[in-house]
Structure 1
Amino acid sequence: MWVTSSTATALLPTAIALGNFDGIHRGHQEVVRSIVGVDATGSEDCSIRRTVVTFNPHPREFFSGQRRQLLTPQEEKVRLLEALGIEQLVLLPFDRELATLSPQDFVEKILVRQLQAKRIGVGKDFHFGYQRQGTAEDLRAIAQNHDIEVKIVSLQACGRDRVSSSLIRQSLQEGDIPQANRLLGRPYQLAGTVVTGQQLGRTIGFPTANLQLPDNKFLPRYGVYSVRVVLEKTALLGVMNIGCRPTVNAEAKPTVEVHLLDWSGDLYEQTLTVNLEEFLRPEQKFSSLDALKAQIQTDCKRAKDLLNSQL
């Protein structure tokens, strides 16, 4: 996939899915599908670049001045969008100049002139332009003056809940992994390289892989999880702990450690993709290493039973 932060180097012309797309959840996926595969006449046109246009940094990060933890950092976002058929990701630098563009100017300067949009897809709740004054219907009206089709995608629901990045964050913070996964349309993932840790798990018979994640990856509730792990093309079962390890010299910075069930081998410098399935228990401090070891044994058995029952 071609990734660029400059419209001057974008591949043109484009069919654009427009939005923030943090999470690439079920609603985002429908917006992407609205511009993939067909041109405005309903037939496939390989010359039109299937493109996601989003903002960097996230507008909320720009206005708050606080770094935002993301459900899908850039590398993960690229991988997910590519699987959906997107050929190009344009990361518009979100600065004061972009933030003060009127809805009309945003469409005409960015989407029409610079990106040569032929088709645009957005969610029904999309807002854009200065102080978010523009709506999805405004986008359609402005684009229509340039003979650009705008597909407005209805909001997606999961049961009684509207699919949204904020609800996914809330579910992860509460440890409600099944709900987060339903909203995403796939398991929430933590993908990273295995780095050297303190190797304390090895001393009590439960070696763990210490994962180095992107600094801006959103972490769910601290505690222990049952997980499915992909190592290269091999699927494995595991138990994951997220937290500051209060029993063994608590650290200020949280760690993400994975113990693979019924597997042994050298994992250092390898990449693991960890799919979260169930929250087992919150992080806690034990009176001794023996008590910790007994609890880990219980966690492993429970995780194995849960994961095997879901096959």
Structure 2
Amino acid sequence: MRVIFDPTQISRPTAIALGNFDGVHIGHRHVIEPILPSALSNHDQHLTSTVVSFSPHPQEFFSKQPRSLLAPFDEKVALLESLGVEQLVLLAFDADLAKLTAAEFMQQILIDSLQVELISVGFDFHFGQKRQGNITDLKSIWGDRLTVIPEQTMLLKDPTPIRISSSNIRAALAKGDVDLANALLGRPYNLVGKVIQGKQLGRTIGFPTANLDLPAQKCLPRDGVYAVQVSISSSPKPLFGVMNIGLRPTVNGDRRSVEVHLFDWQGDLYDQELNVDLVKFIRPEHKFSSLEALKDQIQADCQTALSHFAVLA
């Protein structure tokens, strides 16, 4: 998949899915599917399958505050590529783009720059200055060449349908509700980062951990302990373990860290990239009265995780 920052490098004409697509969750994939090469009809094969997004996120631009992301840039690229998207066009969201009216956005961006012939958006998509543009405006130009994906909901244990949205996924992660977050994503929520040098305190109590260096914008779930499945290039099969996110109050931690303890693993993990899937929230982070009490709890956490994995097997 080509990643395009320079508008002159866009492969045209295009079939586009337009949106921010943070997390590339189930609802996003419904929006993207109609413009994938596999979905285009014979007379549309000349169109380049394109996702059009914004950098930075418009909310980040207007608030001037960093925004946590379910899928930072590299993860987003990998997820879109896995779907079969041919190019990702990132529009620089700046003062000039923000002040374009809906009509100017359609003419300058969609028609002139992208040469859009086929377009897919979510039901609540708005664009242009002060979000004045809507589905009706798009339909006035593209007509039946516009696909509007209705609101996507999911029924879980609660009889009330829940909307599939990035905000609901963030809310679930903030509560440690991994089951809900993963269901809305359609895949396990994951953390991808390189292993860096830590204080090696885990080794002193018999539970060595790999400290992960994660993208600054990565949305982290609730502090606590999780059962996780881990993929690394040096292992031909997935590994299992427990992960702690938090300040490590028992050992007077001075910053939030993400540490993974792998079951049945021996070897050097430094500088390796770990892809950590969240499987189950085990417990919140606590401060224990001693290292021995912490050791006993970690042992119990490992047993809880192993019991969960055994049920899944």
Fold-level similarity (TM above 0.5) = yes
Instruction: Give the total of aligned pairs.
Output: 306
Aligned to 1:100: 99
Letter in 2 for 1:246: P
Aligned to 2:158: none
Report sequence identity in percent: 54
Aligned to 1:225: 226
Aligned to 1:242: 245
How many Å apart are 1:133 and its aligned residue?
A: 1.1
Aligned to 2:22: 22
Deviates more, 1:242-251 or 1:3-12: 3-12
How many Å apart are 1:38 and its aligned residue?
A: 5.6
Aligned to 1:6: 6
Q: Cα 1:44–1:259, aligned 2, differ >3 Å: closer, same or farther?
A: farther
How many Å apart are 1:46 and its aligned residue?
A: 4.7
Aligned to 1:84: 83
SS in structure 1 of the partner of residue 35 of structure 2:
coil
1:115-154 paired onto structure 2 within 5 Å? 115-144=114-143, 149-154=145-150
Letter in 1 for 2:96: E
How many Å apart are 1:215 and its aligned residue?
A: 0.8
Q: Distance in 2 between matches of 1:25 and 1:100?
A: 29
**Structure 2: which 5+ residue stretches go unaligned?**
156-160
Q: Cα 1:102–1:250, aligned 2, differ >3 Å: closer, same or farther?
A: same
SS in structure 2 of the partner of residue 27 of structure 1:
helix
8 A Cα contact 2:117 2:142, kept in partner: no
SS in structure 2 of the partner of residue 62 of structure 1:
helix
SS in structure 2 of the partner of residue 108 of structure 1:
helix
TM-score (norm 1): 0.95
**Structure 1: which 5+ residue stretches go unaligned?**
none
Q: Distance in 1 between matches of 2:294 and 2:153?
A: 41
SS in structure 2 of the partner of residue 187 of structure 1:
coil
Letter in 2 for 1:34: P
8 A Cα contact 2:190 2:277, kept in partner: yes
1:213 aligns with 2:214: yes
8 A Cα contact 1:39 1:45, kept in partner: no
Deviates more, 1:214-223 or 1:9-18: 9-18
Q: 1:282 aligns with which of 281, 284, 288?
A: 284
How many Å apart are 1:142 and its aligned residue?
A: 3.0
The CA RMSD measured in Å over matched residues stands at 1.4
How many Å apart are 1:115 and its aligned residue?
A: 0.9
Q: Distance in 2 between matches of 1:50 and 1:37?
A: 6
8 A Cα contact 1:230 1:274, kept in partner: yes
Q: Cα 1:75–1:203, aligned 2, differ >3 Å: closer, same or farther?
A: same
SS in structure 2 of the partner of residue 198 of structure 1:
coil
8 A Cα contact 2:37 2:85, kept in partner: no
Q: Distance in 1 between matches of 2:99 and 2:310?
A: 53
How many Å apart are 1:45 and its aligned residue?
A: 4.8
Q: Distance in 2 between matches of 1:99 and 1:277?
A: 40
SS in structure 1 of the partner of residue 283 of structure 2:
strand
